[in-house]
Amino acid sequence: MAATIIDGKKVAADIKVELKKEVEELKSKGVNPALSVVLVGENPASKKYVANKEKTCEALGIKSVAYKLPESATREELLKLVDDLNADPGIHGILVQLPLPGHMNEKEVMHRIAPEKDVDGFGPDALGRLLLDEPGFVPCTPHGAMKMLEAYGVDPAGKKAVIVGRSVIVGKPLALLLLRKNATVTICHSKTPDLKGECLSADILCVAVGRAQMVKGDWVKEGAAVIDIGINVNESGKLIGDVEFEKAKERAGWITPVPGGAGPMTIAMLMYNTVEAAKAGLKA
């Protein structure tokens, strides 16, 4: 029996309906939620993401302020811009689009963003709060993955979850979120000896490595929930995931498509974090 397709666009749309109401309520109290997006250079994928974020902000009534710096911008120029945005009371969220040009230190920039404006959830304060199980901004892609599982009634409690990929922006925070929901979590990576065996043991399989169709269809346990977070472009210019979708969907119980799964959810959760930042400012 073919898998239930997890429709990330639909889940994201439902979240955005609620967010739009919250934005209207904040505006009625004199708070205009605002997100500043900083793009350095001409990376085509980054430009597309930024355009999508601006479009979503507009649809929800969130003010979007974009700063585009040339590839040749210096580290000092970028850090000064972040400092200025930190100090601007009209800006609730700051997002510096990654990857940055090679002459810039991404960690230094993430550390520089004020914790109360770190709507990407990549800074040490946000990640520390996640580890400590304290309230704070959750990185958008892992948060979106959890929301998709929740929307389709997949409860991680008592399940074995396997994550392929150990990045700070997806793999590690996703492991903490699954632990929070009482899953038993294994993180796999390039040094894992029996990757296929680990994947086959997973009730919930999350893949985020950026290698096209690396996880084969016969690596998926019958009835498992598969969250594919990879986005790759094949020879014909088509977007494909890290999982061999057509074969995997014959074995999985639930599976996310690429595109239309994790991507829309990432942007929805960024908007969620921006609204939360604006609400926190109201309380302060």
CB 241 within 8 A of CB 231: yes
Length of the chain counted residue by residue: 284
Can you give the pLDDT at residue 130? 97
Amino acid letter, 138:
V
* Averaged pLDDT score across all residues of the chain: 95
Catalytic-role residue among 117, 118, 120, 228: 120
Can you give the pLDDT at residue 234? 87
Question: Is 120 annotated in the active site?
Answer: yes
- The helix, strand and coil proportions of the chain, stated in percent and rounded to the nearest 5, come to 45, 15, 40
- How large is the average pLDDT for residues 142-167? 98
CATH number of 140-263: 3.40.50.720
- What tens digit of pLDDT does each residue of 10-59 get? 999 999 999 999 999 999 999 999 999 999 998 888 888 889 999 999 99
Can you give the pLDDT at residue 44? 83
Q: Count CB atoms within 10 A of the CB of residue 273.
A: 25
Lowest mean pLDDT among 47-56, 126-135, 240-249, 258-267: 47-56
1 pLDDT above the threshold of 80: no
CATH code 3.40.50.720 for 30-114: no
- How large is the average pLDDT for residues 124-153? 97
Higher pLDDT, 146 or 234: 146
284 pLDDT above the threshold of 60: no
Domain boundaries, the chain: 30-114, 140-263
Catalytic-role residue among 97, 117, 147, 242: 97
Q: Please indicate whether the domains covering 30-114 and 140-263 agree at the CATH topology level.
A: yes
Catalytic-role residue among 16, 53, 160, 172: 53
Can you give the pLDDT at residue 118? 98
Question: Is 97 annotated in the active site?
Answer: yes
Q: Count CB atoms within 10 A of the CB of residue 38.
A: 22
For 268-281, give the secondary structure using H, E and C: HHHHHHHHHHHHHH
Rounded to two decimals, what is the model's pTM?
A: 0.95
Q: Which residues contact 158 (CB under 8 A, 6 or more apart)?
A: 182, 183, 184
Question: Is 213 annotated in the active site?
Answer: no
CA count, 13 A, side-chain hemisphere, 96: 29
